[in-house]
Amino acid sequence: MKFNELPDVLIRLKEMETDGLIEMESDRIQVTEKGRPFVRNVCMSFDLRLTRKKPETQLFSMTV
């Protein structure tokens, strides 16, 4: 399976790491205590349906 969006995912994750929400290593991503309320946002970074289709209608409830 090809994952063309991986560079974009890593950019989004890097922003979360800068904000202290996650810690990234070469083989894992760990959500920090500060990031626990935002775990859904972290997961959304990997949602290919969300990134590939960019739907005009809302697929999921909005996050804060």
Q: Which residues contact 63 (CB under 8 A, 6 or more apart)?
A: 38, 40, 41, 44
Domains and CATH numbers, the chain: 6-53 (1.10.10.920)
The tens digit of pLDDT for each residue in 33-59 reads 999 999 999 998 888 777 666 655 555
Whether 62 has a pLDDT exceeding 80, the answer reads no
What is the radius of gyration, based on Cα positions, of the chain? 12
The whole-number pLDDT of residue 6 equals: 83
Q: Which residues contact 9 (CB under 8 A, 6 or more apart)?
A: 45, 46, 51
Amino acid identity at 9: V
Q: What is the pTM assigned to this prediction?
A: 0.71
8-31 average pLDDT score: 93
DSSP, residue by residue, 44-62: HTT-HHHHHH--SS--SPP
